[in-house]
């Protein structure tokens, strides 16, 4: 069935208010983690923007929970090599990684590239 979009889309301000109330001090970290998950999928970004679903607090909560389940943090994009190594160690302990979940393994691969991007390591 085609959605006629008759339902009122939530405003960004309403969404932020709801999420801040629910997440409290974790708001920034959870939002950044949700954004990190979505940013990896350009078609999804376009769809969320075009439909307004990216402003729905339920959608944002879903991606924040997915990020948590996959061991993703919003800081991954700006991590130093040492931080990336610590994230790799943390993610490798998750059930998803241990089960061989493709997305989780791919995330570790990306972080590995960041951790060892300089081509060298402090160990000599």
What's the pLDDT at 70? 76
What is the value of pTM for the model shown?
A: 0.59
Spatial distance between the Cα atoms of 113 and 38, rounded to a whole number of angstroms: 20
Stretch 28-37: mean pLDDT, rounded? 86
pLDDT classification of 4: cutoffs 50, 70, 90: very low
The answer to which of 10-14, 36-40, 42-46, 78-82 has the lowest mean pLDDT is 78-82
Q: What is the CA radius of gyration of the chain?
A: 17
Residue-wise pLDDT tens digits, 67-104: 888 777 766 666 778 888 888 898 899 888 999 988 88
Q: CA 105: distance to chain centroid?
A: 15
């Amino acid at each position: 069935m085609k959605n006629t979009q008759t339902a009122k889309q939530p405003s960004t301000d309403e969404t932020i208010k709801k999420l801040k109330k629910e997440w409290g001090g974790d708001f920034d970290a959870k939002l950044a983690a949700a954004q990190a998950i979505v940013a990896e999928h350009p078609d999804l970004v376009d769809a969320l923007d075009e439909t307004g679903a990216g402003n729905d607090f339920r959608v944002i909560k879903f991606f924040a929970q997915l990020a948590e389940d996959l061991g993703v943090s919003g800081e991954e994009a700006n991590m130093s090599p040492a931080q990336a190594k610590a994230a790799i160690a943390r993610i490798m302990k998750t059930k998803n990684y241990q089960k061989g979940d493709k997305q989780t393994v791919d995330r570790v691969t990306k972080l590995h590239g960041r951790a060892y991007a300089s081509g060298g390591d402090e160990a000599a």
